[in-house]
Amino acid sequence: MCTGIDREVNSASGDALMHSQVSGQAEGATLVFLHGNGEDKRIFDPQINYLSNDYKIVAIDTRGHGQSARGTEPFTFHTFACDLFAVLDNLRIDKAHLIGFSDGAITALHAALLQPERILSMILLGVNYNTRGLKWRPYVYIRLAYAWLWVASFFAASKRKQREVWGLMVHQPQLTLEEIGRIRVPALVVTGEKDMVRQRQNDEIIQAITGAQRLVIPGVDHFWMFKQPELLNRIIVDFLNGV
């Protein structure tokens, strides 16, 4: 079935070009997909293919990931949120629903603090609002990998890029519950029962965001959506219909 539009777009954000794929229905409500650390927009292909008959889809490569340039702005979630709005401005999209996985969900939180009037709703998959939100075992692994990349980066330029990307998980995010409590955007917070993110962090997020909903997927880990894409499709549709 023809979905109306399907094009690649580069949008300027500061001195960087942000790459996105725009598809689906030109007149449909906009869904923006934000991927996780070290990934690119292709992780959402099953959702994009499923939803493009009813929505306009914007899938963005995060700064320094996929086909988006690194630029010279600070490598922070605040910067990523500004990049998101630069893409929406270029596409002349006033408001959108955000669907973010892991680091992409953290970007969505920052976006909801930065320009809440432009966010129709958020689906946050495997999100933490500070570094204490990760369980100790994966966090220790991340710290060790980051330390190795720090040493290796002195000998290989490719490792410098990896070090910066992994550094996001070591040093960020650093939001507070007071900041989270200022968010007034309809939100669904989803984690796997065996997620690397502490369930307590997600409980605190839904308590802080008025009206936020919570969903725990039984028996699965942080990356459950890659193994059960049809389940995520149903979760997205059910939530958007409720909104």
Tell me how far apart the 2 most distant CA atoms of the chain are, in Å: 52
Cα separations in angstroms, 110 against 60, 98, 194, 231: 16, 12, 25, 26
What span, in angstroms and rounded, lies between the C-alpha atoms of 226 and 27? Answer: 29
What span, in angstroms and rounded, lies between the C-alpha atoms of 21 and 10? Answer: 9
Predicted pLDDT at 157: 87
pLDDT over 70 at 3, yes or no: no
Strand 56-60, strand 30-34: pairing:
parallel
Question: For the segment 34-89, what is each residue's pLDDT rounded down to a tens digit?
Answer: 999 999 999 999 999 999 999 999 999 999 999 999 999 999 999 999 999 999 99
Question: For the segment 152-205, what is each residue's pLDDT rounded down to a tens digit?
Answer: 999 998 899 999 999 999 999 999 999 999 999 999 999 999 999 999 999 999
Question: For the segment 68-77, what is each residue's pLDDT rounded down to a tens digit?
Answer: 999 999 999 9
